[in-house]
Amino acid sequence: MKEDFRHPLNLVNYIRIYKNIVYEEIHKNIIEISKSSIPKFKKASVNQTNRPGVHKSRVVENIRLTEHWPLDNINNDSKTGQYMCNLFKNIFSTNIRKYMESVGLKNTGFSIQNIELLKYTKDGHYVFHHDECSSYHRTFSCIYFINDDYEGGELSFSTLTNLDKPPHLTIPPEANSLIIFPSNFLYQHQINPVITGERYSIIGWISA
């Protein structure tokens, strides 16, 4: 029996890719900013639960090895950071509307949270996880691929598969494309280790 990816119960149906998100000149500008000395990168942390209701954020490199620059931080006084934040608020807003319509969800309003620029260097990775957490209300996750001139660093989902048993659903990065998917526990995903080069992306979450 041929699998029908349009069926509402097929989880893959809620993983959507949008290509050619911005004009070429804007895309070039995003690349130049990301690779410049402007971003104030710091090691990215993970949220861990020590006991029920108590969460602690810390750097754990065997789980997540990447650097990030929060763009919507109220203390971000960089005009370039503010430009990038506003740009991607518009990009995410436009495309989440398309997403909701395409998967048959009613748009009753949404907000955008935690927009960040990420940088993965050689061996950079993030093991299987989901984006839903009690600290933030996250409904959908957005990942914009800035570049694709590197090896490794693919986005892999364990959707409808066993975490420990491949094959997983793996999506090779394509520059200037955006992927949107639900943030809940059904959409465990990872960033595979970068083999060569540097991987840049913008992430953000939608609360709806």
Whole-number pLDDT of residue 27: 98
Q: For the domain that residue 142 is a member of, what is the CATH number?
A: 2.60.120.620
| Eight-class DSSP state of 77 | -
Distance CA 53, CA 36 (A): 39
145 domain residue, yes or no? yes
| Eight-class DSSP state of 157 | E
60 domain residue, yes or no? no
Whole-number pLDDT of residue 1: 33
**48 touches 58 (CB < 8 A):** yes
Instruction: Mention every residue, 6+ apart, whose C-beta is less than 8 A from residue 115.
Output: 70, 71, 72, 84, 85, 88, 89, 92, 202, 203, 204
Whole-number pLDDT of residue 126: 96
Distance CA 149, CA 124 (A): 15
45 domain residue, yes or no? no
Distance CA 126, CA 45 (A): 11
Query: Which residue segment(s) compose the domain that 74 sits in?
Result: 11-38+69-207
- Three-state DSSP class for 166? coil
110 domain residue, yes or no? yes
Distance CA 160, CA 179 (A): 18
Whole-number pLDDT of residue 9: 54
63 domain residue, yes or no? no
Residue pointed to by tokens 């094959």: 167
What backbone phi and psi angles, to 5 degrees, belong to 9? -90, -5
Whole-number pLDDT of residue 54: 52
64 domain residue, yes or no? no
> What does the pLDDT profile of the chain (208 residues) look like in tens digits?
333 444 445 788 899 999 999 999 999 999 999 999 999 999 999 876 555 555 678 899 999 999 999 998 766 678 999 999 999 999 999 999 999 999 999 888 999 999 999 999 999 999 999 998 767 789 999 999 999 999 999 999 986 555 555 657 899 999 999 999 999 999 999 999 999 999 999 999 999 9
56 domain residue, yes or no? no
175 domain residue, yes or no? yes
* Residue 55: both structure tokens together: 């969460």
Instruction: Count up the domains in the chain and report the number.
Output: 1
